[in-house]
């Protein structure tokens, strides 16, 4: 017959602390209410205001209840940071997992629809896929709508427009990038050839 186990021998379950803290919180709150009501009970039943230190003790129990309430709350997973999601997507794309990187960027856009960098990176990842130039163009166009003062977005979109054979639109994007201060490469060579 096996020997009976004592409570010290059994490891507590992982969720024991929050449950125990909630129990102690309720007990401390009950004691705070009890000590806070002692002077009133003394006045009602004895006829004098007794228990001078009861208020201070009630405050101590109330502080303990507040501490135990916050210490015993269930931990929640942290809210994903968009910068860390972008970094992870870039890492996945660099390791050849383009589809997972795009899925991660889709999640980043779901969490923060105005994150133009996610659209930029997703457009660049689409450029690595066959027949995905239209998707890349949509991403770059939306990124430009969200951040119209970023010259490199116009340069990226001009590359996609060139791939699609839309030379005049690509040239207009390069001109816009040059006007915004971006180094377009092509415009620098042309401006040095001009008299």
Give the residue from 44, 71, 98 where a domain finishes: 71
- Please state the pTM of the whole predicted model: 0.56
User: Domain check: are 101 and 179 in the same one?
Assistant: yes
Span 104-121, pLDDT tens digits: 999 888 888 888 999 999
User: Domain check: are 52 and 134 in the same one?
Assistant: no
Give the residue from 52, 71, 90 where a domain finishes: 71
Contacts 24+ apart (CB under 8 A), 88-95: 89/118, 89/121, 89/125, 90/121, 93/121, 93/125, 93/128
Give the whole-number percent of the chain exceeding pLDDT 90: 29
Cα–Cα distance measured from residue 29 to residue 60, given in angstroms and rounded to the nearest whole number: 10
Residue 155's domain spans which residues?
Answer: 82-183
pLDDT of residue 42: 79
**More confident call, 175 vs 129:** 175
**More confident call, 104 vs 2:** 104
- DSSP string covering 2-67, please? PPPPPTTTSPPPTTHHHHHHHHHHHHHHHHHHHHHHHHHHHHHHTSS---TTHHHHHHHHHHHHHH
Single out the residue of 190, 189, 157 nearest to residue 172, CA to CA: 157
User: Domain check: are 104 and 28 in the same one?
Assistant: no
pLDDT of residue 7: 55
User: Domain check: are 133 and 93 in the same one?
Assistant: yes
pLDDT of residue 54: 82
Query: Is 189 within a domain?
Result: no
Query: Is 76 within a domain?
Result: no
User: Domain check: are 89 and 28 in the same one?
Assistant: no
Query: Is 119 within a domain?
Result: yes
Span 122-148, pLDDT tens digits: 999 988 777 888 899 999 999 999 999
pLDDT of residue 1: 53
User: Domain check: are 142 and 56 in the same one?
Assistant: no
8 A C-beta contact, residue 148 and residue 114: no
Number of domain units in the chain: 2
pLDDT of residue 188: 40
**More confident call, 50 vs 170:** 170
CATH of the domain at 95: 1.25.40.10
Query: Is 167 within a domain?
Result: yes
């Amino acid at each position: 017959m096996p020997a009976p186990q004592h409570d010290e021998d059994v490891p507590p379950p992982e969720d024991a602390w929050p449950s125990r803290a909630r129990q102690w919180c309720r007990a401390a709150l009950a004691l705070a209410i009890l000590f806070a009501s002692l002077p009133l009970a003394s006045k009602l039943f004895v006829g004098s205001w007794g228990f001078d230190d009861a208020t201070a003790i009630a405050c101590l129990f109330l502080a303990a209840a507040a501490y135990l309430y916050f210490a015993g709350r269930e931990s929640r997973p942290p809210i994903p940071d968009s910068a860390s999601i972008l970094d992870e997507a870039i890492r996945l794309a660099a390791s050849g997992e383009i589809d997972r990187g795009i899925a991660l960027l889709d999640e980043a856009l779901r969490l923060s629809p105005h994150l133009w960098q996610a659209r930029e990176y997703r457009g660049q990842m689409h450029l690595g896929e066959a027949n995905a130039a239209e998707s890349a163009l949509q991403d770059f166009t939306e990124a430009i709508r969200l951040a119209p003062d970023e010259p490199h977005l116009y340069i990226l979109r001009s590359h996609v427009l060139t791939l699609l054979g839309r030379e005049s639109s690509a040239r207009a994007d390069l001109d816009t990038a040059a006007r915004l201060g971006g180094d377009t490469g092509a415009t620098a060579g042309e401006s040095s050839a001009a008299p």
